[in-house]
Amino acid sequence: MSDRKPFSHLDEAGTARMVDVSEKPVTRRVAEASCRVRLTADTVARLSTLPKGDAIAVARLAGIQGAKATSTLVPLAHPLPLDQVEVEVAPDAQGVVIRSRVVVTARTGAEMEALAACAAAALALYDMVKAVERGAVITDLRLESKSGGRSGAWGRGEDEAGTPQAAGDAIGEPTAVDAAAPAGPRA
């Protein structure tokens, strides 16, 4: 026998199904996700003056809308009453970093909503820049942390540079690790 947990979205016959969450308690759940859009420095410098308008503003709003539309985009995701959605779109040396934070009070988590927020923001950003840079690359879509619910808190454990990160930190808020680290841009 395997010690692996079964996939919750498959029944005994292996058929996909929506999980019954009616017996789970309603708890506060927070999920954070991130992704990158790789762009040239020239494109990054033009993000607020592109032919279609301010790419950062459009991407941020698209990310919020993406979180709200998750159950439409992901077939087995439950519709959730979102309490808060934050999306940060920040230029960096390789392009743009997109981070999301979703808060719900519900029977199931907000991980898919946080991921959908980042994906929608990245797609909107690509749409905004494609006239000047068709080679933009959307990459590294990932869950960073989650808290609440039966499984408790989980965090990725380190950022891309290998720096330890605390699970559940709000977007842009320094962690205890940041306070001990040398000053510089946050990954």
Indicate if 127 belongs to the active site.
Answer: yes
Q: Which of 22-26, 51-55, 62-66, 77-81 has the highest mean pLDDT?
A: 62-66
What pLDDT is recorded for position 58? 97
Give the Å distances, CA to CA, from 74 to 1, 21, 51, 160.
31, 17, 32, 27
**Confidence band (pLDDT; 50, 70, 90) for 12?**
confident
Position 186 confidence tier, pLDDT thresholds 50, 70, 90 = very low
pTM of the model: 0.79
The pair of structure tokens assigned to 156 is: 């990725």
Domain 27-148 homologous superfamily, CATH:
Molybdopterin cofactor biosynthesis C (MoaC) domain (3.30.70.640)
The pLDDT value recorded for residue 179 is 37
Q: CA 177: distance to chain centroid?
A: 21
Residue 66 phi, psi dihedral angles, 5° rounding: -60, -40
| Catalytic choice (3, 11, 127, 159) | 127
pLDDT tens across 16-60, in order? 767 878 888 999 999 999 999 999 999 999 998 988 889 999 999
Domain residue limits, the chain: 27-148
| Residue type for position 46 | R
Min mean pLDDT across 45-59, 122-136, 161-175 is at: 161-175
CA distance 72 to 116: 11
Q: Tell me the Cα Rg of the chain.
A: 18
Structure-model confidence comparison of residues 43 and 186, the more confident one: 43
| 176 vs 56, more confident | 56
